[in-house]
Amino acid sequence: MKSEYDILVVGGGPGGAIAAWTAARLGLSVCLIEKRPAIGAPVRCAEGIGKELLKSFIEPDPRWVSADIKRARIVAPDGTTIALDENKAGAEVGYVLDRKFFDRELVWQASKAGSDVFVKTRAVAPIMEGRHVRGAVVECCGKRQDVRAKVTIAADGVESKFARWCGIDTTIPLTEMMSCVQYLVTDIDIDPNSNDFYLGNDVAPQGYLWVFAKGERSANVGVGIPASKNKPDMRARDYLDRFMRENFPNGKIIECVVGGDPVSRPLPCTVADGLMIVGDAARVVDPITGGGIGNAMYTGRLAAEVAARAIAQGDTSKAALMPYEEEWRSSKMGKNLERNYKVKEYFITLSDEKMNTLAQSIEGINFSEITVMALLTEIIKRNPKMLLELKGLTHALV
C-alpha cells in the first residue's frame, strides 16, 4: 500500500466500489480499503434493485443476477393484494441480485480500472490537519499506517464511524433504524417471478415483511421493523419466525442475515474539507422501501466525479466539494428521498383498518407505471372521503 493517493475510499460496498471505479477511470490514483476479509460477505441485504437503475451502472450478468422479477405484490393486513405487473404496466420491475458476487464484480471492475484494493484493512482514524481530512490511519493485520489522500470518501455503510470521527454526527434515532432479519429459504412454493411485500401490525409493525424470489423454489424472506418497536419477546426475528411457521413450515433455512437499514433523512451535509460521504453512510436509503444499493452507487459515482474536478483544480475544500451535495440533493434521487420520507411518516401512522381500506380502493387496478408516485396518486384519487386524513400524503407529493 502506498502512503499517498488522490482518493482513499473507506468501504467496499456498492457505494465505495463505484466511487473507486469511477475515480480510477478518470485517471486518479485510488485506494479502496474494506475491513472485512471478503468483499460482499456476509450479505446484509434482500438484494432487490430496479432494472433501469442497475443498467445505468453495469450490464446485468447471470453470474450475479439470481432472479428476473416480473411483478411486485403488496399484501395488506386483511390479505387484499395489489399486483403491479410488468406485462400490464409496460415498465420493468427489477432483479434480485446475488450480492456476494455482485459486490465482488464492482470491486473487481474498480481494480481492473487501476484502483488499489485492500481487504481486511480498516480505517481506524482520520488524518486531520485542523478541520481538513487528509486521509486515514489504516490497520491491516495488526499493523497501522498513514494513508494520505487529497479526498477521502466515506463509504462505510450503515455502521459508518468515519464521518463521526471527523466530527459529523451520524447517529440514527431508534425510530428510524429498521432492525432486520432475513432467511434465505429453499424448498418452498413461491412465485419465482414475484417480489412480495406484506404489511400490517401482526406481520411487521411500521415496517414490512418481504419474500423476494431467488429462483424457482427459494427466496429471501425477511422482516424489518423500527428498532423502537423491538421488544424483548417480540424482536424482528420473532416476527420472521412466526411468518415462517405460518407460511413456510417446511422451508429449509440455509442462511440468516441480520442488518440495520436507516430510513432517516440523509445527513444534513455530506461534505467537509477533504471528505465526501456516500451511500448508507450518508443515509441515502429510500425511506419507504429501505432500498439503498442504487442510491449508494449513484452517490459514489457522483462523489468521484466531483472529487476529480476539485483535485484537478487543486482545491479540495468543503466549498470545492459542495457541487456533490448540491447535485444529489436536487437530483431525482434527492427529491424522491425527501418525498418518500414524508410518505413514510404518513404511512406509519395508519392502522391496519385504514391500510385495508386504501388497499381495497386500488385493488385490481391496471397501473400504467410501477412507481410509488403512481400508487399514491391512485390512492388519493380513489379516497375522496379520506382526503382530510390523506393531507399528509398530498403534502408529500407537492
Q: Which three cell numbers stand for residue 9?
A: 475510499
Contact between 114 and another protein by CB under 8 A: the answer reads no
- The CB-of-233 to another protein minimum distance in angstroms stands at 9
Per CB under 6 A, does 296 bind ligand FAD?
Answer: yes
Binding ligand FAD (rule: CB under 6 A), the pick from 291, 325, 359, 362 is 291
Gyration radius from the chain CA atoms: 21
Smallest distance, another protein to C-beta of residue 157, A: 7
232 part of the interface to another protein, by CB under 8 A: yes
- Residue 148 bridge partners (DSSP): 4, 135
Distance CA 14, CA 154 (A): 12
- Pick from 170, 299, 356, 383: which binds another protein (CB under 8 A)? 170
- C-alpha cell recorded at residue 64: 450475479
Q: Is 227 in the site for another protein (CB under 8 A)?
A: yes
Query: Under the criterion CB under 8 A, does residue 373 sit at the interface with another protein?
Result: no
Using rule CB under 6 A, residue 15 touches ligand FAD: yes
The distance from CA 37 to its chain's CA centroid, rounded to whole angstroms, is 22
Q: Which set of grid coordinates corresponds to residue 17?
A: 466500489
DSSP 231: B
What is the C-alpha separation between 228 and 76, in angstroms, rounded? 22
For residues 284 and 337, is the Cβ–Cβ distance under 8 A?
yes
**What is the distance between the alpha carbons of residues 303 and 274, in angstroms, rounded to a whole number?**
12
Pair 30, 313: CB distance under 8 Å:
no
- Judged on CB neighbours under 10 Å (0-12, 13-18, 19+), 74 is buried
Contact 133, 150 (CB under 8 A): no
Max CA distance (Å), the chain: 66
Judged by beta carbon distances under 5 to 8 A according to partner kind, the member of another protein, ligand FAD, none in contact with residue 170 is another protein
Which among ligand FAD, another protein, none contacts residue 46 (Cβ within 5 to 8 A by kind)?
ligand FAD
The residue range among 169-177, 196-204, 234-242, 277-285 that interacts with ligand FAD, by the rule CB under 6 A, is 277-285
Q: Of residues 99, 122, 150, 344, which one binds another protein by CB under 8 A? A: 122
Q: Is 11 in the site for ligand FAD (CB under 6 A)?
A: yes
Interactions with ligand FAD, residue window 148-167 (CB under 6 A): 155-159, 161-162
Helix, strand or coil, per DSSP, at residue 350: coil
**Distance of alpha carbon 239 from alpha carbon 237, whole angstroms:** 5
Residue of the chain from 181, 211, 288, 358 that contacts another protein (CB under 8 A): 181
Q: Provide CB contacts within 8 A for 224, sequence distance 6+.
A: 178, 179, 180, 204, 207, 208, 236, 261, 290
Question: Is 36 one of the binding residues for another protein (CB under 8 A)?
Answer: yes
Of 36 and 73, the one with the shorter C-beta distance to another protein is 36
Rule CB under 8 A: say whether 174 interacts with another protein.
yes
Pick one of another protein, ligand FAD, none as the site partner of residue 318 (Cβ within 5 to 8 A by kind): none
Sole window of 64-72, 290-298, 359-367, 379-387 interacting with ligand FAD (rule: CB under 6 A): 290-298
285 belongs to the binding site for another protein (CB under 8 A)? no
Interacting residue ranges for another protein, rule: CB under 8 A = 35-37, 42, 44, 122, 157-161, 164, 170-174, 177, 179-181, 227-228, 230, 232, 235-237, 256-260, 262
Interacting residue ranges for ligand FAD, rule: CB under 6 A = 10-16, 33-36, 44-49, 122-123, 155-159, 161-162, 180, 182, 222, 257, 259-261, 279-281, 285, 290-294, 296
